[in-house]
Amino acid sequence: MSYTSFKYDNLKIEPDKLDENGKIKVSFEITNTGSQDGAEVAQLYIKDIEASVLRPEKELKGFQKVFLKKGESKRIEIELTKKDFAYWDVKTHDWKTEPGEFEILIGTSSRDILLRGKLAL
């Protein structure tokens, strides 16, 4: 719980398509818009838009805690790799990544999503 408020803005996903060996950098800005200094835990979730198997609605893949003075802004970066988009295949007993679109979700919890973007595999 914080005694201040925060604004999330300027989501960037670079590049917007993941290749076989690539990494994805997700970045966004957090601004303390309240009247007090405070800490915030920003969370990154992914959602497989067209999964062929049952997957969770949102999967937590990264988070970062940041302390901001009132009025201060900071750019947060979280890196994702191909394994972050994989699921455990019970038939082959191995990790599997399906091609397709994923949604990148940024928020303070799984119920409070403030930024959305898309990524292709």
Q: What is the CATH number for 78?
A: 2.60.40.10
Q: Is residue 94 part of a domain?
A: yes
pLDDT at 110: 96
Of 58, 54, 56, the C-alpha closest to 112 is 58
CA distance linking residue 41 with residue 63, whole number of Å: 7
| Count of domains forming the chain | 1
Q: Is residue 1 part of a domain?
A: no
Q: Is residue 71 part of a domain?
A: yes
**Domain carrying residue 61:** 6-120
Q: Block means of pLDDT (10 residues each) for the chain, length 121 residues?
A: 89 85 92 96 96 92 97 97 92 92 96 96 87
